[in-house]
Structure 1
């Protein structure tokens, strides 16, 4: 094999060791949690991960890329769980309850609150990072829930006229009084299980009152009023 071919092969294999990539990501996660995104440097990551700077740059070209990889990795695990939940359109009340509780627990967790704060902290200086964070996270979640609501409506289990709007409403209701208070440090600890259950239960009652399957009488309120008269 020629020297040029050897170099090409070596380069093609660079950055493909899963264990080394995992080592770097774990070190970076610790650094970002302890120092915050803006304060952390690639040198800090190399020390925490126990790798050389040259090795780090083989896997990740910048701090932004490293931060994005961490967020994407966590999100993919989360969205895989959600996709399985949304396979059941026959029982929307239970599916939405499970989804709402999972969502509220996830978004009020220490790790996600820190990630949101980090992105907000750099969004003015790096608007593309903020836009990418939103599109690949909240926007994707809205789309998945909207598709579920549309399917459940087509099956007669719900009566949603604007699935996207209804999806955003349910997401906000499921985190009412929890997410923003956590984000701005008004409450420091993650909400307990019962608090999440109560919040999502209330959200579900409001949501189903608006979008539950309609009876014939509900679809024709004038006829119902005439009958009562």
Structure 2
């Protein structure tokens, strides 16, 4: 393949490598993935691959930046623009199933879970840049809902974890169990059910 000279061509080449890397990590696991295979999947030489990424760890960190962090930013933006706790919860319940179905986040989660001990620094980076950042935003959302009198809880941090739990469950389900099942999980129904349970549990009791 010809060398990428323009910035646009370099960006496209980087994107091709990122997609190829994610497929290799997803299918073989982080430990068994090989840079030779990633180069072959991307249609580049091994030397070209190393011009972009010095190691598997560096490549996976860029995968996290490309796949997961934009979704966290989207969630943060929704919370900033929201007019209240329940309206934001409703938006999240509509958008998060699409995130699971239409993004590569479940693939990233499967790689992390399956090979977490092989690259602890990368797992730590994912936790800080994705998990903790999302958890922090949801915790703020819960506390604001309490301050506004919309909801009541003594444990905003764990409520935030419960809010994100269906994403983790459905991500694991879609990449581990669903490929061997004849029927796809109805994620919209799952998230709507979860939303209804949260609304019932968090509404302040009538005086």
Would you call these one fold, judging by a TM-score over 0.5?
yes
TM-score normalised by L of structure 1: 0.71
Which stretch shifts more, 182-191 or 203-212? 182-191
Q: Aligned match of 2:36 in 43, 47, 57? A: 43
* Paired residues of 2:76 and 2:134 also in contact (CA < 8 A): no
Q: Structure 2 unaligned segments of length 5 or more: list them.
A: 1-6
Distance 1:176 1:62 in 2: 28
Which residue of the other structure, out of 183, 199, 203, is the alignment partner of 1:212? Answer: 203
Matched, 1:196 2:187: yes
RMSD across aligned positions (CA): 3.2
For 1:63-102, list aligned pairs within 5 A: 63-102=56-95
Identify which of structures 1 and 2 has the higher relative contact order when contacts are C-alpha pairs closer than 8 Å and 6+ apart: 2
The answer to whether the 8 A contact 1:27-1:48 is kept is yes
Distance 2:126 2:168 in 1: 21
Q: Tell me, in whole angstroms, the C-alpha distance in 2 between the residues paired with 1:142 and 1:156.
A: 21
Q: Which residue of 2 aligns with 1:185?
A: 177
Q: Within 2, Cα distance between the matches of 1:56 and 1:187?
A: 31
Contact residue 142 and residue 168 of structure 1 kept, 8 A:
yes
Q: Which residue is 2:151 aligned to? A: 158
Correspondence 1:59 to 2:52: yes
Work out the CA distance in 2 between the residues paired with 1:176 and 1:79.
14
1:167 to 160, 168, 177: 160
Larger Rg over CA atoms: 1
* 1:224 alignment counterpart: none
Q: Deviation at 1:160?
A: 3.3
> 2:141 is matched with which residue?
148
Partners of 1:164 and 1:117 in 2: how far apart?
25
Q: Distance in 2 between matches of 1:128 and 1:159?
A: 37
Q: How many residues align?
A: 200
1:131 shift after superposition: 2.8
Aligned-pair distance for 1:42?
Answer: 1.0
Are the equivalent residues in 2 in contact too, given 1:89–1:152 (CA < 8 A)? no
d(CA) in 2 for partners of 1:61, 1:104: 34
Q: Which moved more, 1:129-138 or 1:57-66?
A: 129-138
Unaligned runs of 5+ in 1: 1-13, 218-229
How far did 1:133 drift?
A: 2.5
Distance in structure 2 (CA, Å) of the matches to 1:202 and 1:213: 19
